[in-house]
Structure 1
Amino acid sequence: MLRGFFSIATFARFIGLYVCLCLLVVAAETFAVQFGEQEIAQWLPPVPWPLSDQDALLLNISGYLIGAQVGLLSVVSISIALVSLIAQRENAETDVKVYYHEALAFELVASNVALLTVLCLQLLWPFQTVLSLLGASATLITFKPFLLGVHLVWLTLNLLTVAFFIATTLRFVQDKSRQEIRERYIVNITHPSELSARMRRSAYRNASLSILRSASEAAGQDDQAAVFFGSRFDEPQDAVLEATFHHSVMLHDVHMGIVKWVLLRWKNRSLRTLRDAARDEGMGGGRRPLIWFPIDLNLPVQGTTPICFQRHGAELTRLEKLLLRYAFCFRRVRDEV
């Protein structure tokens, strides 16, 4: 369950999900104002504290939560620093990476910092303040306690994960346990990841067999146009399609359905032009249309990067270039540990 929750992984995602939850609460509060608070209040249990004391009570509880969250973040930071220093002295960068993964280090820090940010901002209850200024705030006292309950659940998950983190840290400093953790990481993470990467790269480089050739065979024609992925030839000076990346990125995925549609259009136009030219000149054959994509999967690139080259054949239209650029999905490269 903990790994499922912390698969959110990044600070931005934690904050984004919480903002979405706040918007849902704001929508519910606005709905309560519009459709009658009295009817809704009849279905709610009585609150054990006076309405006038609610804000002070919530403020006190939020202060306690902030203190607990700061303490958790300190423990996690010190533990990560100590293990990293020990591993670096032993030149064990791979062990550091294994430790970060097994102990949920990145995810735990992101969750703790995100919750601390949320608790500090919610001292002012910005969404409810905006509703009050707009005159759409409900007098029901259930919305702020609901968000406070979310904070408590979030803090509890962080506490459980810190306990798991400390247990993993204590096991990791022991040679035998560290070896077991390393072997489990290799079996469950490294080998499947490498196998998946090889299969994806093979499917990407052999994609031309399922794009142009299959269409030609279905039509009973010879394959007179060629396309290659992840291959380099004597490249022309200017690329047909290129992109500029200010940070190091890698090709993560390709929408082959879009690429196939574009290339089939290009192939039909190219072969039609080739046949017309051969008929006008009174001779058969001609230069074979060729298009290739030199960029390969999971290889970092930066700066102005060519994505597509073409030799002979019809020119790609602006729409086709836009679709090809959209089809090639890049992801920013995270710095290695």
Structure 2
Amino acid sequence: MTSILNTARQVLAVEADAVSALIERLDERFERAVEMILACQGRVVITGMGKSGLICQKIASTMASTGTPALFLHPAEGIHGDLGMLMKGDVVIAISNSGETEEISRILPVIKRMGLPLIAMTGNVRSTLGRAGDVTLDISVKEEACPLGLAPTASTTATLAMGDALAVALLERRGFREEDFALFHPGGALGKKLLLRVEDMMHSGSAIPLVRDDTLLKEALFEITSKKLGVTGVTDAEGNLVGVFTDGDLRRRIEGGFDILNAPIGTIMSANPKRILRSNLAAKALQRMEEHSITSLFVFETEESRIPVGIIHIHDLLKAGVA
């Protein structure tokens, strides 16, 4: 077992060193690559064979999801017709550790004839690919983690890390925001957290539980039970929200031994209720509820507003998967 763990630790150490070595190599060539992509009027077309091809697909996917239109071109398919997907305005990123991959070398003349900017990522900057690049990024590694030195391991890890560095640098230069990211990830929990807003889920109009502050509690209970949210807001004569009363407040009052059913709710309500804006993300509403250990928030149009336009309940958020 010790031998297995030692092997695993050695693999991780070699791959970590390969990624760390890239940091010292970053220079104006990386900046030029980023500027070249930012100036691109078309798509970023990323191409590579074998294990490098798999890494290309991941880089293309990361770029596409962070605001840089990108796609993967299989070079072997490219020389049999798929080069037709290239168009004026595209930027090509070609990846080969050796820089001499036959399929990559065969599509380089077409890329050059079309006048497409070429970013080369290779472990041999003096190779055919390295010399062909308008910008060449050095992704060489001292050694592979494979003890035979055959299986691409540290080299593919370094390539992926360089691709991530490009994608994140582009993301920041574009001013890409959480909301933009959400547009490309509408499915699943991530999309719900970043896309759903309070106004999409709140109860509004006659569904908002509200009573005047001079309403007797026994009458206010009908509002709490009929709206089925376990709470009612309390307003003044102008409709401004001045407090809340929950079914939990009722239990605590009864346990205190007070005869409160005939008390005006304004005398027993909780003042200064927590609030949320309708434009806020639904995830923020859930965060606020958890922070204050409450189950609902009254919703307002602006920070200055005092008249509620809705109410949102924790059950609505959990049912929608905002968690």
**TM-score if structure 2 supplies the norm length?**
0.27
Higher strand share: 2
Which structure's residues are more often helix, by fraction? 1
| TM-score under structure 1 length normalisation | 0.26
Higher RCO structure (Cα 8 Å, ≥6 apart): 1
